[in-house]
Amino acid sequence: MVYSLALLAILAGCGEPPSVDTSLLTGEPCEPPCWQGLTPGVSTEEEVNEFVRTSELVDRTTLFRGDITRGTGEVVGVSVQWWSRADTAGVPRQFGNSFSIKDGILQYMTIFLDVEVTVEDLLERYGPPDKFSAYMVGAHPAWVELTLYYPEYGFMSELIIPPDDVRLTPEREVLYVWYFRAAPLEEFLEMSRDIGHPTVSDDVLQDWQGYGPMELIP
């Protein structure tokens, strides 16, 4: 019995590893705002359904589909949520990936990264962000949520930073990326509010200051 269990473990370990998404840094199979062949404002609900049905990235046992509602309870769209089959970044996460669809068209995507991507990696690939925001979230425990905005590339990246070390350093790790239709910053902010994304107020947006201590603007 012990031998059989050991053999099963060895055979399981020899299995092909799950596919890993590295597209944010490689641009393969497509560049932002496209992700894995899906583009906000262009791709249809049918194309989203085909992706989650066939992609090797998707753990189909985690698929969930639900309505997107406003505060009034009005249904304004559909959310398709799923978890990746590979999570090698080792970053704690509470939520899976999601696609938001309205009127049959993909509006935006929230994608948690499967691999480690640092701020340094992001800057080398895309340059400094147009703007950033940093503010305290939560209470017990509290943390700092840092957002780097790349509206003309069609994405923004999110990082979580400990409140006792509010510095931006090259090795800080990106947690997830929100893909949307590429647009100038002002248009992006307006568009994101129209589709119900909780984008921060213009008042908290800051100019890029490079690495070092960050000012928290509530």
Instruction: Catalogue the E-assigned strands of the chain.
Output: 58-69, 75-84, 97-102, 105-112, 131-138, 142-150, 155-161, 167-168, 176-179, 212-213
Q: Is the pLDDT of residue 146 over 80?
A: yes
Residue 217 carries which side chain, given as an amino acid letter?
Answer: I
Q: Is the pLDDT of residue 32 over 60?
A: yes
Per-residue pLDDT at 213: 92
Q: Mean pLDDT, to the nearest integer, of 15-28?
A: 81
- Other CB atoms within 10 A of residue 119 CB: 20
- Report the distance separating Cα 210 and Cα 170, nearest Å: 10
More confident position, 43 or 203? 43
Average pLDDT over residues 140-164: 89
Report pLDDT digits (tens) over 193-205. 765 555 566 778 8
